[in-house]
Chains A and B, each alone.
Chain A
């Protein structure tokens, strides 16, 4: 177990800087998720922690030790790769035992450790099989077992679930979280999937273009985004962004589930309490329990998420109302959050919907 600290880490490839001075503290025992769109530098950051990529400048610390000059094998980290990276010519047992043997663990101890881990991840019946004879989920378990058996201080995972089908992915998500609780080690997990990030991480690091945009716990990230990027990246569908009413320097944002659709006929509620956008519904997506309404308004197209029970016909003229308390204000140029609008508390709108 160890905390990981990145001090002013940069990484350049030829004439391109992909990680631009990242400062980050990953607490001991945390499940930290690096999330961001592809090319944001999250995988490179992870690979630098692993030692698979050299650091252009800055310092990486694992525990109390600066590891910049240490080879990957000496950093006491284990990694689970996106494509599993199992040794195709070795059977499951040898795949798991390989790292132990290289450390000089005796054959007898190897056997005990491998069998113990195989039992935990449910691979015992498959120890003699080659990776090519296993399903995707089983390979994933071998990759996990191979990492776990070394009892590393830090687990690094590079999009480990992206090659699994949706059902298995959900299952593995739960298993990984409980594994983390069980082991208590530090997990650093890279993904581009915000659902994975939100459900698994206890600390989420949102990255964009080689910079860290925000580091926060999942709900803080969702409720208090520090900038436009985070506001739009976290949450599905993304936050609606519209020009603000009186200041051309700022933009307003609101979450689709915080807006209400009201009939055009209803008299507008006090503008002191909420903003009102007039428009008409252009399309609708039914997700199951919820539906998404796309409303073309004078300030652009916005999305409203509503309970599917409350249907609104297409092409209807409506007003979209958002309480001021749910409006986020951002600076137009920097994208940084300005403040949270403190309007009067929104009144309960019983029966206010169409």
Chain B
């Protein structure tokens, strides 16, 4: 094909024949098509496994249907949504998700940041501690949940044994409505802190050392170095962690499933677990789909807000 087009250009005298014109048109088309062909496999994958399920769950959320009988699907419009939003259990679920997300994200990131400040040093011992802090990240969440259930057992658990050793009364942990949420937050922070710390340390190490030396020569007190130099320089890292931690906190499921099953009295029921309950326990496909769409919307809005509000303050080199 290339030859067919190249020929008239080289000769440059005779007008191109019809055949040559047609070949030229085909080639122009091919050139235009080529990039799409290159991305086609990835696009197919993306449509099939990302866009289509999203569209389909939105579609499903407008029907009243049950997993027990997939043949009968009645169009109900926004009824699934209005029912959900009217239900006090669902309000509780939303509230729980919010409390859980805000607590784990804020406390988790704060703790990781402090740990990173402490561990960002050269001596070997810090490397060992860093590895220890990171280790929960590579353990499966189900194992983590089992481990903490054992630790938090009110009678035989290690935590209460420790509390008693120092003369404090035992704690109810997972057994009571107030403490169960705190326990889940604790586990989530414990599991995530290692990864966050690692990312923070990587961010801190990418700050050139001579900037700190310049600050030393400028008589910068440590807290001002922290707030005027370290934190602004870490803003991309902070932003990244904020987004992924928020999204993953909203999606918490494993620990709830293993440790509390949403209880006691719905006190630790959160969005993903609620969706699972509606779909898999009560076979209520419509409610589950509608709740999924709400989750999608919430995470989307939060991410958007992060980008809008935080994004402007983030400093990229």
Contact residues in B for A90 (Cβ distance below 8 Å): 228
What mask results when residues 57 to 95 of chain A are scored 1 for a CB within 8 Å of chain B, else 0?
000000000000001111001110111011111100000
Q: Provided the pairs A102-B219, A102-B221, A103-B219 are in contact, do residues A88 and B315 lie with their beta carbons within 8 angstroms?
A: yes
Q: Give the size range of A's interface with the partner.
A: 20 to 34
Q: Are A81 and B216 in contact (CB under 8 A)?
A: no
Q: Are A98 and B218 in contact (CB under 8 A)?
A: yes
Interface residue? B229 (CB, 8 A): yes
Q: Are A89 and B213 in contact (CB under 8 A)?
A: no
Q: Provided the pairs A74-B219, A87-B229, A88-B315 are in contact, do residues A102 and B213 lie with their beta carbons within 8 angstroms?
A: no
Residue of A nearest to B207 (CB): A88
Interface residue? A50 (CB, 8 A): yes
Q: Are B224 and A99 in contact (CB under 8 A)?
A: no
Q: Are A85 and B210 in contact (CB under 8 A)?
A: yes
Interface residue? A314 (CB, 8 A): no
Q: Are A77 and B217 in contact (CB under 8 A)?
A: yes
Contact residues in B for A87 (Cβ distance below 8 Å): 211, 214-215, 228-229
Contact residues in A for B88 (Cβ distance below 8 Å): none
Contact residues in A for B216 (Cβ distance below 8 Å): 51-52, 71-73
CA distance in complex: A147, B233 (Å): 22
CA distance in complex: A51, B317 (Å): 28
Q: Are B315 and A98 in contact (CB under 8 A)?
A: no
Interface residue? B24 (CB, 8 A): no
Interface residue? B232 (CB, 8 A): yes
Interface residue? A132 (CB, 8 A): yes
Please give the distance in Å from A28's CB to the nearest CB on chain B.
Answer: 21
Contact residues in B for A86 (Cβ distance below 8 Å): 211, 214
CA distance in complex: A150, B220 (Å): 13
Q: Are A89 and B229 in contact (CB under 8 A)?
A: yes
Interface residue? B167 (CB, 8 A): no
CA distance in complex: A82, B315 (Å): 23
Please give the distance in Å from A224's CB to the nearest CB on chain B.
Answer: 37
Q: Give the size range of B's interface with the partner.
A: 20 to 34
Chain A-chain B contacts (Cβ-Cβ < 8 Å), number: 69
Please give the distance in Å from A121's CB to the nearest CB on chain B.
Answer: 17
CA distance in complex: A308, B53 (Å): 79
Query: Among A74, A77, A88, which residue has the most Cβ atoms of chain B within 10 A?
Result: A88
Contact residues in B for A51 (Cβ distance below 8 Å): 216-217
CA distance in complex: A87, B219 (Å): 14
Contact residues in A for B217 (Cβ distance below 8 Å): 50-52, 72-73, 77-79, 99
Interface residue? B208 (CB, 8 A): yes
Contact residues in B for A103 (Cβ distance below 8 Å): 219
CA distance in complex: A132, B316 (Å): 10
CA distance in complex: A325, B233 (Å): 61
Q: Are A83 and B208 in contact (CB under 8 A)?
A: yes
Q: Among B208, B214, B220, B232, point to the contact of A89 (Cβ < 8 A).
A: B232
Q: Are B317 and A88 in contact (CB under 8 A)?
A: yes
Contact residues in A for B315 (Cβ distance below 8 Å): 88-89
Q: Are A81 and B210 in contact (CB under 8 A)?
A: yes
Q: Are A132 and B317 in contact (CB under 8 A)?
A: yes
Please give the distance in Å from A139's CB to the nearest CB on chain B.
Answer: 13
Q: Among A52, A88, A102, A132, point to the contact of B220 (Cβ < 8 A).
A: A102
Query: Among B219, B229, B233, which residue has the most Cβ atoms of chain A within 10 A?
Result: B219
Q: Provided the pairs A81-B213, A85-B213, A87-B211 are in contact, do residues A99 and B228 lie with their beta carbons within 8 angstroms?
A: no
Q: Are B211 and A85 in contact (CB under 8 A)?
A: yes
Q: Are A85 and B229 in contact (CB under 8 A)?
A: no
Contact residues in B for A78 (Cβ distance below 8 Å): 217
Q: Provided the pairs A89-B232, A89-B233, A102-B224 are in contact, do residues A81 and B214 lie with their beta carbons within 8 angstroms?
A: yes
What mask results when residues 35 to 66 of chain A are scored 1 for a CB within 8 Å of chain B, else 0?
00000000000000011100000000000000
What mask results when residues 280 to 317 of chain B are scored 1 for a CB within 8 Å of chain A, else 0?
00000000000000000000000000000000000101
Contact residues in A for B221 (Cβ distance below 8 Å): 102
Contact residues in A for B210 (Cβ distance below 8 Å): 81-83, 85
Q: Provided the pairs A85-B213, A85-B214 are in contact, do residues A99 and B229 lie with their beta carbons within 8 angstroms?
A: no
Contact residues in B for A132 (Cβ distance below 8 Å): 317
Q: Are A52 and B213 in contact (CB under 8 A)?
A: yes
Please give the distance in Å from A213's CB to the nearest CB on chain B.
Answer: 28
Residue of A nearest to B234 (CB): A89
CA distance in complex: A219, B23 (Å): 76
Please give the distance in Å from A162's CB to the nearest CB on chain B.
Answer: 14
Q: Are A99 and B232 in contact (CB under 8 A)?
A: no
Please give the distance in Å from B258's CB to the nearest CB on chain A.
Answer: 43
Q: Provided the pairs A81-B213, A83-B208, A85-B214 are in contact, do residues A99 and B219 lie with their beta carbons within 8 angstroms?
A: yes
Q: Among B220, B228, B229, B232, point to the contact of A73 (Cβ < 8 A).
A: B220
Q: Are A88 and B224 in contact (CB under 8 A)?
A: no
Contact residues in B for A71 (Cβ distance below 8 Å): 216
Please give the distance in Å from B313's CB to the nearest CB on chain A.
Answer: 10
Query: Among A87, A90, A132, which residue has the most Cβ atoms of chain B within 10 A?
Result: A87
Please give the distance in Å from A156's CB to the nearest CB on chain B.
Answer: 9
Please give the distance in Å from B317's CB to the nearest CB on chain A.
Answer: 6
Query: Which parts of B176-226 form the interface with A (CB within 8 Å)?
Result: 208, 210-211, 213-221, 224
Interface residues of B (CB under 8 A from A): 208, 210-211, 213-221, 224, 228-229, 232-233, 235, 315, 317
Apart from the given pairs A90-B228, A146-B218, A150-B218, 14 other A-B contacts in the complex at a CB distance below 8 Å: A50-B217, A74-B219, A81-B210, A83-B210, A87-B211, A89-B228, A89-B315, A98-B215, A98-B218, A99-B220, A102-B218, A102-B220, A102-B224, A132-B317
- Give 11 A-B contacts (CB < 8 Å), ordered by A residue: A51-B216, A71-B216, A79-B217, A81-B214, A85-B210, A86-B214, A88-B315, A89-B232, A98-B215, A99-B219, A102-B218
